Amino acid sequence: MRASLRRLAPRLVALAALTSAWLLPCTRAAADELPEYRLKAAFVYNFIAYTQWPDSTSSTLHICTVGEDPFGKELDGLAEKTISGRAIAIQRKGASRVLGDCDVVYVSPSAMRDLPRILESIKGRPILTIADSIDAAKDGIMLNMAVSQDRVTFEANQRAARTAGLVLSSRLLKLATEVSQ
Amino acid sequence: MSAPIGLRDQLLRVNRVAMWPAVVVIFVVTVGGSFSIGLFELMNTTQVQARVLADNASAAMAFRDEKAAGEVLETLHHSPQIENAWLFLSNGEVFGSYRRDSAAMRNAPMPEREDGVQLHALYLTQSQTVSAPGERVGTFQMRVGLAGLYRQTALVGATAFGALLLATALYARLLRRLIVAALNPIQALTDVVDEVHSKSNLAARASGSHIFEIDRLSKGFNAMIERIDERDRRLARLAYFDKLTGLPNRTAFLERIAREVSLCDRSGRRLALLFMDLDGFKQINDTLGHDNGDEVLAMIAERLRRELRPSDTAAPAAPFELDDSMARLGGDEFTVLVSQIESVQNALEIAERLRASIAQPFVLEGRELAISCSIGVAVYPDHASDAANLLKHADTAMYQAKRSGRDTTHLYTATLTEQAMQRLEMDTSLRGALARSEFSLVYQPQIEVATGRVRSVEALIRWNHPDKGMIAPVNFIPLAEENGMIAAIGRWVLDAACADLVHWRAQGLDLRVAVNLSPRQIQDKRLVEDVREALARAGLPADRLELEITEGAVVDDFSHAIATLTQLRSSGIRIALDDFGTGQSSLSYLMKLPVDVIKVDRSFISRLQEDRLSRSIVEAIMVFARALGAGVVAEGVETYQQLSILQHLGCPLIQGYYYSKPVAPELIPELAACAWSAPLHSSKAAHRLVTQLAQGA
């Protein structure tokens, strides 16, 4: 995990220079020139889009980050969007483990050590869990992103999602590099 | 105008012309409709495909999964008409593209902003927004070739064309058959019309038809033909028969002659034509009235019928149709055709028998009436070479029978025709004679025995014919009476005589001029007027003119003649009765005539010397004249002896060659200047002669 961070380090530097451009859809910048977390933020958004909650009556969808937030401002951009008529709110929980009011929980690489406890705290609740650490899907994360050949990919843990009462769209599953049942 | 075309062809032509627009419309609608439907379906299909694809590709695009997008695009190869397809990201970047193997390499177009289809000649483009559940992620656009649609349309067009061609051919064939069937009754009707028209077959009838109009036409046509037929028959009856006698008329008879002539040509036998004309029938009409005249004609027809009835006829034995062997040609002319005779003699025998039959007295209103007739006979082929000539020659022969004293039968001879020709020639030249000034007058003086002076001259007309020389009145006056020239000639004579008289009077000669009137002139209603005008023009006193008439001239219409003569006489004109003693009139009849002078006929004068009776007659005439208060002139005195006897009998005026033949007007003054000797006063020999004759008688 460290290694991958190291590998991404030069890009993160470049990303800082280009933060202002990220929300402009018409920007003619090439995909692989986009900063990794901008892409990952978009993935998060799409994950939400292809996921069905058993009860989605509340007007706001809460995205919580656990641990050190690697997105920076990229994730804040989502807060300006809506999805299926629901507003998006970002809550950075840091070290807090009170996740009951979250709809989506992103577990940052820095909080991976604490993953079993985090999962335990939200067990049985319809909360979509997202991470971008190696083998996170095996450990119970529903959607785990990775970077492969300059592309962002993801694996899905359908069993975990089903246990939580969430339905992942088949289209989403079709794009996953690996789906564990 | 071009020749008329048949109804069938016209109907076929009309149908052909009327059919083509329909065929074209069907073709256009079929092809156009096929194309439209094809295009519509294609657009629908394309739209659905685009939606499905956009939907399928949405997740791939949302997650920027080009590989997955490529797989989705590859599914397009199931639709052969899709040539190219592109997926554009929202920023316009090409995310994925698809090219059919057969399609050309194409650069990606600019993505359309709007969803929908854009139609081009050879292809269409379909744009479709690609939306992930959250938001729009890009645009799908594809290019669909229309070649397939065109091919399909062309196939439909070719099929429609073939089908229409086949349908038209079948239609035309069926139509022709139906039209021919429908026109059959009209064709039949036309044939009947032709039959009636070209062959004059009025027996032809059109048959009925199951087509209402044609049936009406046929029935109407039949009715029309029947009426025409009936009318023709009626007209034929009218045209071929004489109403009065019931005999065939001239038209029917001419046809009959023509038929008989051709029969004779085959049988080699003879055909006689008897041409009968009643003698003096005009008088019967005039005296008994036209109704009685008609009755006489009917009785004559009946008598001819009876005489010619085959059962009553002993000879010739050859039978012939009674009804059209006889005919009334008009007026009092009857004709009889005797066919199949052996010789000319047979024909003459029949003619004589007919004449004898007519000669039997007729009883009309209780009175007996004797009628004679003249018959001319001509025989085919002896006297004529055809029907027309046969009739003409029989007519000529009849005319000759009339001229030779009526009540006789005359057989045609070729010379008759020559005479007729001469008469015709004469007739023609006579008609122009006045205009050519071919007439002249000569005058014969009448000498008063007592004084030896010329008291009067008789004007005598001469015709100086350019070819025949001088022609005497007896040779042309009858002709002039026949052709009506007599009236004009009479007026000319009057004027010329008056003019000469005026001339003489200017030379101091107090003469009277005598002018002859023909019977026709006396009947002329304008005579009195003409005479008075002539005198007025010449400025002559009326008593200087003497008009000579014969008794024959007044018998035709006695009362009118008397009236005319009385009128003339009342204006001072003297009337002389010419040729006295030769007529058949009774004395009582003659006594009624208003006459100033009686001219003793030359026939009595010429026999004075040898015939005591003639002398007595002349004496009697003078007594008669004296009783009437009329003067006497002896005509045709040629010898001294005649003159002496007349002088002895006390005849006051003498005319004749003894003194002078008729001379030209220029010589009259010279003759008038002479004092002619009175022989009896100076010659004892003459006196003796007269006494001798008186004793001898």
Please write the tens of the pLDDT for every residue from B385-421: 888 889 999 998 998 888 877 888 888 887 766 777 7
pLDDT of residue A25: 39
SS (H, E, C) B363-422: EECCEEECCCEEEEEEEECCCCCCHHHHHHHHHHHHHHHHHCCCCCEEECCHHHHHHHHH
Provide the token pair at B385: 């070479």
Residues of chain B positioned with their CB less than 8 A from the CB of A50: 59, 62, 132-133
Which of A133, A87, A136, A101 has the alpha carbon at shortest distance from A116?
A136
User: What would the two tokens of residue B192 be?
Assistant: 């009947």
The tokens describing B623, both together, are 């007594």
Confidence at residue B322, expressed as pLDDT on a 0 to 100 scale: 44
Q: What is the pLDDT of residue B267?
A: 81
Q: Which of B58, B63, B90 sits opposite A43 (nearest CB)?
A: B63
B91/A169 CB distance under 8 A: no
Q: What ipTM did this prediction achieve?
A: 0.76
Look at residue B315 in the predicted model and tell me its pLDDT.
42
Rounded to an integer, what distance in angstroms lies between the CA atom of residue B433 and that of residue B440?
11
pLDDT of residue A21: 41
Averaged over A63-71, what is the pLDDT?
90
CB contact under 8 A, B92 and A28: yes
Q: Inspect the interface and report whether the beta carbons of A151 and B133 lie closer than 8 Å.
A: no
| pLDDT per residue as tens digits for the range B451-504 | 888 889 999 999 998 888 888 888 888 888 878 888 889 999 999 999 999 999
pLDDT tier for residue A23 given thresholds of 50, 70 and 90? very low
Indicate if the pLDDT at residue A123 is higher than 50.
yes
- CA-based nearest residue to B552, from B278, B280, B289: B280
A26 to chain B: which residues are within 8 Å by CB? 90-92
Report the first-to-last Cα separation within chain B, whole angstroms.
100
Query: Which chain B residues contact residue A48 at CB under 8 A?
Result: 134
pLDDT band of residue B334 (cuts 50, 70, 90) is: very high
For residue B290, what pLDDT is reported? 87
Predicted pLDDT of residue B310: 59
Distance from C-alpha of B70 to C-alpha of B82, rounded to nearest angstrom:
15
Closest residue in chain B to residue A85, using alpha carbons only: B134
Question: How would residue B680 be classed by pLDDT, with cut points 50, 70 and 90?
Answer: very low
Q: State the pLDDT at residue B347.
A: 84
Q: Is the pLDDT score of A55 beyond 90?
A: no
Q: Number of helices (H) and strands (E) in chain B: give both, helices first.
A: 23, 21
Q: Percent of chain B having pLDDT more than 70?
A: 94
Q: Which of A25, A81, A172 sits opposite B59 (nearest CB)?
A: A172
Q: What is the mean pLDDT of residues A137-160?
A: 91
The reported pLDDT for the residue numbered B608 is 86
**Does B62 contact A at CB distance below 8 Å?**
yes
Of A3-17, B383-397, B580-594, the range with the lowest mean pLDDT is: A3-17
Query: What integer pLDDT is reported at residue A33 of this predicted model?
Result: 47
- Partners of residue A152 in chain B, C-beta under 8 Å: 63-64
Q: What is the mean pLDDT of chain B?
A: 85
Check if the beta carbon of residue B576 is closer than 8 Å to that of residue B633: yes
- Cα–Cα dist B396/B277, whole Å: 11
Confidence at residue B686, expressed as pLDDT on a 0 to 100 scale: 47
pTM to 2 decimals?
0.44
Vertex B600 angle, CA B598 and B603, to 5°: 160
Surface-to-core class of residue B181, CB atoms within 10 Å of its CB (0-12 exposed, 13-18 middle, 19+ buried): exposed
B65: closest chain A residue by CA = A175
- Interchain contact, A175 vs B60, CB within 8 Å: yes
A122 by DSSP, 3-state: which? coil
User: Which ranges of B241-270 does DSSP label H, i.e. alpha helix?
Assistant: 250-267
Residues of chain B with Cβ-Cβ distance to A143 below 8 Å are none
Residue of chain B minimizing CA distance to A43:
B63
Residue that wins the pLDDT comparison between B255 and A44: A44
What pLDDT is recorded for position A27?
37
B99 and B105 Cβ atoms separated by less than 8 Å: yes
Please report the pLDDT score of residue B321 as a whole number. Answer: 42
Residue B52 predicted with pLDDT over 50 = yes
CA distances to A146, B202, B235, B599, B681 from B229, in Å: 122, 6, 10, 68, 91
Residue B124 has a pLDDT of 92
Backbone φ, ψ for residue B326 (5° rounding)? -120, 160
CA distance A92 to chain B (A): 23
What b/e readout covers A106-131, taking b as 16+ CB neighbours within 10 angstroms?
A: bbbbbbbeebeebbebbeeebbbbbb
**In whole angstroms, what is the distance from residue B89 CA to residue B58 CA?**
10
B62 vs A contacts (CB less than 8 Å)? 46, 49-50
Chain B, nearest residue to A172 by Cα:
B59
* Pairing label, strands A143-148, A86-94: unpaired
Q: Is the pLDDT of residue B604 over 70?
A: yes
Range from A28-37, B78-87, B118-127, B619-628 carrying the lowest mean pLDDT: A28-37
Give how far Cα B123 sits from Cα of B118, B126, B149, B525, Å. 9, 10, 10, 117
The model's pLDDT over B552-581, given as tens digits with 9 standing for 90+, comes to 777 777 888 888 899 999 999 999 988 887
DSSP string, B10-36: HHHHHHHHHHHHHHHHHHHHHHHHHHH
CB burial of B508-535 (b: ≥16 within 10 Å; e: otherwise) equals ebebbbbbbbbbbbbbbeebbebbeebb
Please list every residue in chain B whose beta carbon sits closer than 8 Å to the beta carbon of residue A44. none
Task: Nearest by CB to B59, from A45, A151, A171: name it.
Answer: A171
Q: What does the block give as tokens for B430?
A: 């006579």
Residue B678 pLDDT: 52
Shortest CB distance from A175 goes to which of B59, B92, B135? B59
Helix B250-267 vs helix B212-240: angle between axes, to the nearest 10 degrees?
Answer: 90
Partner A contacted by B52 (CB < 8 A): no
